[in-house]
Structure formats: C-alpha cells, structure tokens
Amino acid sequence: MAGAGLLLLLGAWVTAAGPVAIFARQSLDPSAPRRPAPGSDFEEWSNVPPPPDRIYASSDVSDAVVAVIVWGLKLAIVAIVAAVLFVIARELVRRARPTPAVEGPGGRVETLPEVLLEGASVRVAELQSGTPSNAIVACWMRLEAEVAAAGFRLDPSRTSTETTSEVLREYAIDERALRELAALFREARFSAHELTEAHRARAADALTALHVDLRRAAAKEALRA
C-alpha cells in the first residue's frame, strides 16, 4: 500500500510540473539565477531591425561621384561643340549670302559699310541740329534710306527699322548701340513727349559706336575683295 501511495504521489507531481521541468537542470541554490525558459526572449529579438539588403562601402560613393563628374564633363563638351558648330554655320551662311554693293566714284564697286561711312558726317550733322526728337528721327531715317539705296530690299512683312537693324547685324555692329539708336528713333517718332538733350547725347554715343564698327567691317570687306 505504501508503494502504491508513493507512485500516486509521484504521478501527481509529474503531471503538475510537466516533463520539461522534470528533466531541466535546475540549481538547488534558491539564490542562483534561473535560466530563462526556451522561447521567453522571442519578444526582445523580434524588435531588432533586419540587416540591410546591401551595405554601401565608401568606394561605392566615390564611384558614383566620379560617374556624375564624367557625365557632366561629357555634356559640357557636347554643348561647347554644338555652340562652335552653330557659330561656324552662321558665318558660312553669312559669307555665302551675296553682299549688295553700289558703284562708287570711278566705277569702283563699294560695299554697304563703305556706303554708310560716306554718309557718316551727314548723320552726325543732322543729329546735332534741331530739336532732339527731330534730329534723332532724321538721323535714323537717313540710315534706312542709305541701306535701301545699297540694294537691300525691304521685307513687306517687316518694318524698315527692323530690316535696317537686321542688315547691320550682318556686319557685326555693336548690338547694344544698334538697339539704343533704334529705340531712341521709335521713342522720338511715336511717343507724345519731347525728347531731351540727354536723349540726343545717348543717340550720339550710339551713332559713334556704329560708325566705329562700320569702319572695321569695311576694312574686312576690303581684305576679302
């Protein structure tokens, strides 16, 4: 009976403690730290972020920077080459375009810069006479008449001022001086207010720059002839 009772007590203990606790190696010392049960630290490890797909080294960053610089240099070279080709093409078109000329004294053929330079002193004199508005209008209109007399036909879809400006640009005339003189002419002719001596001085400076560039263009035309 005593053996049967002991077996019953042992079975009840095994049922209550479970098979893991029976075979686990526990320290007999109650003060010793207990080992965590298997799986009890799952929550702690579940918060650790996963490793990255790829770890970038400093060499990868350096290669990317070098690639960007190389592509930037390639694009810059392409842009420079395109600009140079554009300038060359424009110059070839300008040279291929026939240059109207007029017959000067003694039957010598004169180019447009030479023709315009012959009337330079007259334009300067007109700019200095009368009111500033009338003087600026007379100066520019004489310039237009001389361009037309040299053989340039005016485009019906464009004004004479636009045509004159376009023709003069073909001879590398100072763009700023040309725009200044044309703008003063439009202001003097179409505005309701009177221009002042300051406007006349600005027109004189622009006309002087235009004559300087015409002399340079005439020298180039003479060398080409």
Instruction: CATH number of the domain at 179, please.
Output: 1.20.120
Considering the domain boundaries, does residue 14 fall inside one?
no
Helix, strand, coil % in the chain, rounded to nearest 5: 70, 5, 30
**In a domain? residue 54:** no
Domains in the chain: how many in total? 1
> Which bin fits 29, alpha (ψ -120 to 50), beta or left (φ > 0)?
beta
Domain assignment present for residue 194? The answer is yes
- Find the domain containing 219 and state its range: 101-224
Tell me the C-alpha distance between 150 and 171, whole Å.
14
CA dihedral of 108, 113, 119, 120, whole degrees rounded to 10: -140
Which residues is 110 bridged to in the sheet?
Answer: 102
111 in a structural domain: yes
What's the angle, vertex CA 175, arms to CA 164 and CA 97, rounded to 5? Answer: 55
What is the pTM (predicted TM-score) of this model?
A: 0.51
Q: Is residue 164 in some structural domain?
A: yes
Residue 187 included in any domain: yes
Whether residue 122 lies inside any domain: the answer is yes
pLDDT (tens place) for every residue of the chain, 225 residues total: 555 555 555 565 555 554 544 444 444 455 555 665 555 554 555 555 665 555 555 555 677 778 888 888 989 999 999 988 888 887 676 555 544 444 433 333 357 888 888 889 999 999 999 999 999 999 999 988 888 887 766 566 777 788 788 888 888 888 899 999 999 999 999 988 999 999 999 999 999 999 999 898 888 877 775
User: Is the residue at 203 inside a domain?
Assistant: yes
Q: So what's the pLDDT on residue 87?
A: 82
Which pLDDT belongs to residue 20?
Answer: 45
The burial of 15, by beta-carbon neighbours within 10 Å (0-12 exposed, 13-18 middle, 19 or more buried), is given as exposed
